[in-house]
Amino acid sequence: MTTVPAARAAAGDAETAIRSRRSTVRLTAPAPGPDELLDLLAAAATAPDHGQLRPWRLIAICGNARVRLGEAAAEAAPTADLAKRTAAKHLRAPLMLALVFQPRDLPAIPRWEQLAATSAMATTLLLLLDARGWGGVWYGGPYPDAPQVRKHLGVGDAEQLLGYLNVGTPVPGEAPRSRAAADVRSKLSWLGDTAL
Ligand SMILES: Cc1cc2nc3c(=O)[nH]c(=O)nc-3n(C[C@H](O)[C@H](O)[C@H](O)COP(=O)(O)O)c2cc1C
């Protein structure tokens, strides 16, 4: 049985991990391998999820597969310059995790709840990566809805690409970015007696 002090210590660890997490843009090799990724994913899949639908899947893209995906995305760019920049964006991390949303048509669990569950899983995964010393950042694109990208990744008609989690090792020597505390006072209102 977990004792109260032990539970408090664990909560402290979790809070420290949450408060210190930052997205890492500058990433290098290595990235977590298949076994560690599955382990992390199993932990991330514990995020709140109405009905435990897990309405998502990930496609891990590494090595030359990033080049080929970059070429497919570049086809969607309107200019040659943007095409070049788009292709380069696929080489910024050793591992890209394409996040594919798979909503199901269920009256009791609307699409927005399934999207929220998917987002909760993704942010939990980023937090776990950060806590283990890996770096990660969520990008919405490039061109997640482009037919070339969808076809290349095999995104089905009923699915939606929610961008990529770029994953790898934070570039050594970069100072951790500090974070200004958010002023959330205007974000919380109460109804009822606050003397709890
Ligand atoms: C769904 C989603 C998509 C995002 N897409 C982009 C993006 O395309 N480009 C970008 O610079 N940041 C994007 N961000 C923001 C970064 O992932 C990151 O959260 C932001 O840079 C703040 O850094 P922090 O997580 O350390 O606070 C996205 C975030 C989310 C949740």
Residue 34: what residue type?
P
Closest C-alpha to 128, from 33, 35, 24, 14: 14
Q: Where are the strands (E) in the chain, listed by range?
A: 27-28, 56-62, 95-101, 135-139, 160-170
In the predicted structure, residue 2 carries a pLDDT above the cut 50: no
Amino acid symbol at 112: W
Given this model, what pLDDT does residue 8 score? 64
Q: From the CA of 191, how far away is ligand 1's center (Å)?
A: 33
Ordered structural domains, the chain, with CATH: 24-169 (3.40.109.10)
* Residues composing the chain: 196
Q: Ligand 1: residues whose CB is within 6 Å?
A: 22-23, 137-141, 163
From 139, 145, 149, 160, give the residue whose CB has the most ligand 1 atoms within 8 Å, as the site to mutate: 139
Q: Write out pLDDT tens, residues 91-128.
A: 999 999 999 999 999 999 999 999 999 999 999 999 99
Quick one: pLDDT at residue 162? Answer: 99
The per-residue pLDDT for range 61-99, each reduced to its tens digit, is: 999 999 999 999 999 999 999 999 999 999 999 999 999
Query: How many C-beta atoms lie closer than 10 Å to residue 66's C-beta?
Result: 19
Given the structure tokens 């037919």, which residue do they identify?
147
Residue 59 backbone dihedrals phi, psi, to 5 degrees: -115, 120
Quote the CA–CA distance of 113 and 134 in Å, as a whole number. 29
What pTM does this model have?
Answer: 0.94
